[in-house]
């Protein structure tokens, strides 16, 4: 099965433009081009209409907010084509279910935002596509996350596979303090689910993303903008710029170099310099012993370099009789003993 959540720099990197375009299509195209230049894996938007996401009766102000940020079907498709033609992947949180019919062909991986973790009818429609899903967990108790995962898997067993369902630790506020990131939740979710695990960031800067990488995050999502200067919309405050993403990628590369693989073994840089010999100890005699001497514990010492008999085998020569005269501190061989 294809590793859908493996990025070209290690973790799958998702640049969330989301609503940072604030309904301005020209600005949306500019942000898309910058995200392409940042060399992320996925460029992400949010698809909605005001009336398709917020009740105009129960929350008229929020409804009007989202209406101001709407882009048309043709505009969304143009953005998707910009991304795919550049060789990257396009994705979106589809908040208006009427949009699935025309956007699905552009989306290789679906993202379910934190607010939709309990929107089971929306989740059901996404699951029906059979495509990989990334689920954010902001606002949720652990049992709600497990319930949502169980619901997804009950609809299609393919989502029991870690290459088909990824779970992101997330805190749904903009911005959050470092103390609200709770990156250790990633370990808990990995242990509980066996799925791909990552982090959706709402802190300021890249520290949390770097630490999440070092802690094994397989997916990193972050908001993206051209500049935070002079911006009033809250998402810009937690967004990275093109140059910051490039710097993050450099740091991810360093982190991965430092991490290496998980199998402990001597490395060529150690053995080529013969440190496995010069740093380790062998058994030596601490005094001259004539032939026919019986070796006692008081006669031996463990010294560098590891020439002759390994220090781990010291007990094997205690009690043996020497067959030849052995000078102190010279390399020993089992042929010297009876």
Distance between CA atoms of residues 36 and 33, nearest Å: 5
Query: Cα dist. 296→190, 308, 315, 317 in Å?
Result: 54, 18, 10, 9
Model pLDDT for residues 137-154, shown as the tens digit of each residue: 999 999 999 999 999 999
Please tell me which residue, 185 or 262, carries the higher pLDDT value: 185
Q: Kindly state the average pLDDT of the residues 111-140.
A: 97
132 vs 112: CA distance, rounded Å: 11
What's the rounded mean pLDDT across residues 263-290? 97
- Provide the pLDDT confidence category of residue 5 given band limits of 50, 70 and 90: very high
pLDDT tens digit sequence for 150-168: 999 999 999 999 999 999 9
Is the distance from CB of 210 to CB of 185 less than 8 angstroms? no
Give the mean pLDDT of 90-108. Answer: 95
Using the predicted structure, report yes or no on whether residue 110 has a pLDDT greater than 90.
yes
Three-class DSSP category at 6: strand
Retrieve residue 255's tokens. 């982190």
Q: Does residue 125 have a pLDDT over 80?
A: yes
pLDDT of 231: 86
In the predicted structure, residue 232 carries a pLDDT above the cut 90: no
Give me the mean pLDDT over the 191-214 stretch: 97
Query: Would you place residue 2 in the very low, low, confident or very high pLDDT band (cuts 50, 70, 90)?
Result: confident
Q: What is the mean pLDDT of the chain?
A: 96
CATH of domain 6-259: 3.20.20.70
Fold category of 268-336 in CATH? Type Iii Antifreeze Protein Isoform Hplc 12 (3.90.1210)
pLDDT at 21 over 80: yes
The answer, yes or no, to whether the previous bond of 45 is cis (omega within 30 of 0) is: no
pTM over 0.85: yes
Q: Where are the domains of the chain?
A: 6-259, 268-336
- Identify the pLDDT of residue 182: 98
d(CA 338, CA 319): 10
Three-state DSSP state, 230:
coil
pLDDT (0 to 100) of residue 1: 76
Residue 25: burial class (beta carbons within 10 Å; 0-12, 13-18, 19+): middle
């Amino acid at each position: 099965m294809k590793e859908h959540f493996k990025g070209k720099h290690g973790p799958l990197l998702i640049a969330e433009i989301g609503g940072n375009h604030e309904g301005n299509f020209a600005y949306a195209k500019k942000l898309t081009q910058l995200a392409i230049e940042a060399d992320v894996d996925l460029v992400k938007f949010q698809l909605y209409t005001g009336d398709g996401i917020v009740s105009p009766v129960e929350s008229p102000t929020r409804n009007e907010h989202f209406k101001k940020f709407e882009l048309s079907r043709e505009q969304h498709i143009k953005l998707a084509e910009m991304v795919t033609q550049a060789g990257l992947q396009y994705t979106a949180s589809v908040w208006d279910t009427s949009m699935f019919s025309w956007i699905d062909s552009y989306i290789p991986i679906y993202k379910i935002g934190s607010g939709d973790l309990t929107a089971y009818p929306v989740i059901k429609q996404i699951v029906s596509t059979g495509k990989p899903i990334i689920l954010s967990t902001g606002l949720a108790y652990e049992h709600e996350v497990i319930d949502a995962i169980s619901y997804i898997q009950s609809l299609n067993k393919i989502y029991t596979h870690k290459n088909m369902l990824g779970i992101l630790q997330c805190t749904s506020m903009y911005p959050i303090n470092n103390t609200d990131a709770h990156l250790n939740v990633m370990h808990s979710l990995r242990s509980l689910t066996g799925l791909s695990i990552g982090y959706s960031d709402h802190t300021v800067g890249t520290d949390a993303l770097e630490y999440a990488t070092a802690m094994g995050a397989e997916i990193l999502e972050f908001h993206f903008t051209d500049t935070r200067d002079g911006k009033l919309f809250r998402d810009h405050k937690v967004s990275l710029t093109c140059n910051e993403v490039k710097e993050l990628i450099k740091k991810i590369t360093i982190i991965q170099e430092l991490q290496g693989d998980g199998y402990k073994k001597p490395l060529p840089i150690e053995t080529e310099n013969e440190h496995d010999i010069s740093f380790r100890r062998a058994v030596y005699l601490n005094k001259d012993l004539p032939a026919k001497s019986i070796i006692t514990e008081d006669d031996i010492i463990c010294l560098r370099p590891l020439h002759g008999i390994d220090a781990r085998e010291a007990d094997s020569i205690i009690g043996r009789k020497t067959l030849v005269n052995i000078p102190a501190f010279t390399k020993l061989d089992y042929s010297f003993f009876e």
